[in-house]
Amino acid sequence: MAGASASEQGRRTHFTTCPYNCWPINCGLEVTVEGGRVVGLRGNPHHDLSRGMLCVKGQSALEIHTSPERLRAPLRREGPRGGGRWQRVGWDAALDEIADRMRRNIEAEAPQANALYHSHGNIVQRINWKILTPRLANLTGMTLWDGNFPCWYDVGLAQELTGFYGLHDPVEIGACSAAVVSWAQDPCASMANMVPYLLQVRDRGGMLVTIDPRVTQTAALSDVHIRPRLGSDVWLANAVAGLLIRGGAVDEEQMAAQTFGYERYREHVLDLDPVHAAAECELRLDEIEGLAELYATTRPLCTNLTRGALGKHWNGVQMVRAVLCLIAVSGNVGIAGGGAVWGERIDWNLDLQAAERRPRGVHFPENNLNAIDATLEAGAIDVLLVIGGNPMSQWPDLNRLRRQLERVGLGVVFDLFMNHTAREVADLVLPGTSWLEELGLRASGTRMYAMDKVTGPLAECREASWWMDRLARRLGIDDYFPWRTKQECLDACLDTASCRGMTIQNLLERPQGMAAVLPEVPFADGRFASPSGKLELFSQRAAQLGLEPLPVYSEPIEGVRSTPELARRYPLQLVSARRNTHFHSFHDSHRAIPTLATLEPGPLLHVHPRDALTRDLADGDEAELLNDRGTARVRVELTTEVLPGHVSLNDAWPELNVLTAARCPIDPAVTAALGVGGQPSYQNTLVELRRAQG
């Protein structure tokens, strides 16, 4: 292998990156191979951002590759769905069956009945996610859905409506930021690789602030912890902005130059009485004033803004808009160490997605929960390919979804392990290669890294592009994979302005990665991705689409205040959370990974001792979580990390989504227009808890 270095004992060292998807840093890995077997795995010390560190999941990553539970051959269901009986079949037979069924729908002029859903698990290397999978769907004319919608789409919509994304770099933050506000974001749990940079801020005398109703791990490391009522963040952000304006801390000239709609925004937030806001947020006025003081006097201040958590509220778009506007008026846009942390800045050659080859005149349902739910409810999907995803754990309202998916004619799951979707919905299960068995690329902050192919594929496991090519050919598409080698393909993907000078060969020779060609500080040039070219405090796009142009509060669709009748029967608010030991429901909720499974073998519900006491529940008791949508069994962990009236569950477990509702405030037309929006309102779920019966 090109990137390997040999040593006397016949050991070779390869460099790749971790197969999980912890934005914006994806940690580097150094893999040692001897005699064709992987014998060691540790952090890549040359990696510019992760610097040799690996979290608990990365440290256990070899257990993915070597797991005896890995799928080894294509399987065909025998007996009823969910019956657990499978028969090995060959790839050809499996692909023939898929192609035949897809062709029938194409010939019946219903190509949209063929659907493909792919998610994080297909992110093993970036180009599967960004280019090769969308390319298959576009060339064969399939409905294309992906895991962006449950993850961050409404946050993305707020950014599109504002024209501002953040995009600051952890290294920059660690070196420059005077303060970091983690707003509905728990980096300690969901991206531990950010923590050294946060602690660097603290060690330099900077401040760390956490805004979250829960006492997160990040809150325990922060100087200040603000606990607003669940979903009240619009009040908080608008009140702080109002205090800044009132206090004369806003550079109005800068606002005129940088933003659009400042006058209307200013009037909007000044209309708000901070005392009223404090009551809505259930905070003390001095806490809001303290936050305002921080934004006013401490610069540069970086807001480590939610990746997806706020978007999982009915009012999520407005909440994120409110915070983005606050960042703007506080003067933190376009300065080093300011703004917000977001994700990838490097662009890929998205022309290769071949979006223009999609059949015209066909209505393909949008990547938006409302569109997806309506489509499935109508029974309009005949073939469903699930690639590196797990809807039967991660999509909302699982009992409803199960009923809907029963009507899918052919369910196909491509993954490394059996998971809930494979067991309950699949007719065919296809075995995927692990990340060590594929050559690929990964972006990390502002740098690009190669993912070296370390070993050959296990048994009959194959890369996604291998079988996608063969499927495409069966459907008459012979240019799905027009390159001679994977290396050529990757080089084509790198053909962009920011990746100038990068080739896979160059990258394989550089374990330290290569820097992308990007502006020093995001948005320092004052150009924003909006109709006005400015940061839109008053969003023109929102107005055009019939959405609120200024950040406003609305009560959640389901909540203790908004649905008091329901709250009488189900008084607890269910909040999903992240834990270090799990990355969503990867690897069958990590039950296939011994170290991770030992650390959290099953769903553990965080319950405040007051709520436990009134329900006669003790630490470690088996309990049932229930509402009108279903009942789920969990184990109770008493903790003061949640507020009374809240219960919290790791989103790795399907038990969470037995209770959530398949609701989303954004019309698919918005998604069609802007390419984002459509996130389920997971966090607006009321439940009751009781001892397990039997």
Partner 1 sequence: MSQRFFVLDTSRCFGCHGCVAACATANGTPAGLLWRTLLKLPPDDNAANTVYLSVACNHCRNAPCVRACPSRALEKRSTDGIVIHRAERCLGCRYCQMACPYDAIRWDAARGVVSKCHLCYDRLDRGLEPACVETCFAGALTQVLSMDEDGSGDSVLRQCSREAPGLIDHPGVGPSIRFAQRWEGRPSGPRPQAQGAAPGGER
Partner 2 sequence: MSPAERLGDYVPLLLFTAMALIASGLVVAAGAAHLLLPAGWSLTRPLLVTALLLLTAGGAMAMLHLGRPWRAGMAVAAIGRSWLSREVGAVGVLAVSTTLALVIDLAGNPPPPVWGTIALAAATMGGLLTAMTVGKVYDLPAQAGWRGPAQWLTPPIATLLLASVLLAAAPGGALLAGLAAALLGADALLLTLRIAAARRRSRRGPAPTFARHARVLTALYVLRAALVPAAATSMLLGWHAAAPVLVAVMLIIDRCCLYAGSARVTPSTEMAILKKERMRQATARPRT
Residue 290 binding partner 2, by CB under 8 A = no
- Binds partner 2 by CB under 8 A, chosen from 18, 61, 448, 638: 638
Six-digit token string for 332: 């933190």
Range in contact with partner 2 (rule: CB under 8 A) among 420-428, 506-514, 603-611, 672-680: 603-611
Say if residues 349 and 494 touch (Cβ distance below 8 Å): yes
Cα–Cα distances in angstroms (integers) from residue 38 to residues 54, 364, 510, in the given order:
17, 43, 21
Using the contact rule CB under 8 A, the part of the chain among 425-433, 572-580, 635-643, 660-668 near partner 2 is 635-643
Q: Is residue 500 a contact point for partner 2 (CB under 8 A)? A: no
Q: Is residue 610 near partner 2 by the rule CB under 8 A? A: yes
In the structure encoding, which two tokens stand for residue 318, read together? 């407005």
Residue 386 pairs with which residues in a beta bridge?
117, 413
Number of residues that bind partner 2 (CB under 8 A): 9
- 279 is in the binding site of which of partner 2, partner 1, none (Cβ under 5 to 8 A by kind)? partner 1
Q: Which does 2 bind (CB under 5 to 8 A by kind): partner 1, partner 2, none?
A: none
Return d(Cα 494, Cα 159) in angstroms, integer.
26
Residue 663 touching partner 2 (CB under 8 A): no
Is position 519 an interface residue for partner 2 (rule: CB under 8 A)? no
Judge if the upstream peptide bond of residue 19 is cis by omega within 30 degrees of 0. Answer: no
The identity of residue 260, as a single letter, is: F
- Which of 608, 629, 646, 663: binder of partner 2 (CB under 8 A)? 608
Nearer to partner 1, 455 or 639 (CB): 639
Q: At its nearest, how many Å lie between partner 2 and the CB of residue 140?
A: 53
Name the residue nearer to partner 1 (CB basis): 218 or 539.
218
* Least distance (Å) between residue 659 CB and partner 1: 19
Burial class (CB in 10 A: 0-12, 13-18, 19+), 9: exposed
479-484-486-492 Cα dihedral, nearest 10 degrees: -70
Report what 56 binds from partner 2, partner 1, none; CB cut-off 5-8 Å by kind.
partner 1
Residue 640 in the binding site for partner 2 (CB under 8 A): yes
Shortest reach from residue 655's CB to partner 1, in Å:
21
543 binds, among partner 1, partner 2, none (CB under 5 to 8 A by kind): none
Nearest partner of 467 among 423, 425, 428, judged by Cα: 428
Q: Which two tokens stand for residue 516?
A: 């992308």
If one asks whether residue 691 binds partner 2 (CB under 8 A), the answer comes out as no
The partner residues of 536 in beta bridges, in order of sequence, read 260
String of DSSP letters for 200-241:
HHHHTT-EEEEE-SS--HHHHT-SEEE-PPTT-HHHHHHHHH
196 binds, among partner 1, partner 2, none (CB under 5 to 8 A by kind): partner 1
CB of 317 to partner 1, least distance (A): 25
Measured from the CB of residue 206, what is the shortest distance to partner 1 in angstroms?
11
> Least distance in Å: CB of 689 to partner 1?
13
Q: Give residues in contact with partner 1 (CB under 8 A).
A: 41-43, 52-57, 59-60, 62-63, 188-189, 192-193, 195-196, 199, 202, 210, 215, 217-225, 229, 278-279, 282-285, 287, 560-561, 580-581, 594-595, 597-599, 608, 610-611, 614, 638-641, 643-645
Q: Which is nearer to partner 1, 297 or 614 (CB)?
A: 614
C-beta of 613: minimal distance to partner 2 in Å? 5
**What residue 465 binds from partner 1, partner 2, none (CB within 5 to 8 A, per partner kind)?**
none
CA dihedral over 168, 172, 173, 179, signed as positive or negative: negative
What's the CA gap between 641 and 189, in Å, rounded? 14
* DSSP per-residue string spanning 71-124: --S-EEE-SSTTS--EEE--HHHHHHHHHHHHHHHHHTT-GGGEEEEE-GGG-S
126 versus 608: smaller Cβ distance to partner 2: 608
Q: Out of partner 2, partner 1, none, which partner does residue 566 contact, by CB within 5 to 8 A per kind?
A: none
Cα 341 to Cα 339: distance, rounded to the nearest angstrom: 7
Give 33 or 607: the residue with its C-beta nearer to partner 2.
607
d(Cα 463, Cα 435) in Å, to the nearest integer?
9
The two beta strands, 11-17 and 5-6, are: antiparallel
Which whole-number Å values give the CA distances from 37 to 4, 11, 31, 312, 541, in the listed order?
A: 14, 10, 10, 42, 54
To partner 1, the closest distance from the beta carbon of 28 in angstroms equals 14
Q: Does 284 engage in binding with partner 2 (CB under 8 A)?
A: no
Residue listed under structure tokens 């405040």: 608
**Footprint of partner 2 (CB under 8 A):** 608-610, 613, 619, 638-640, 644
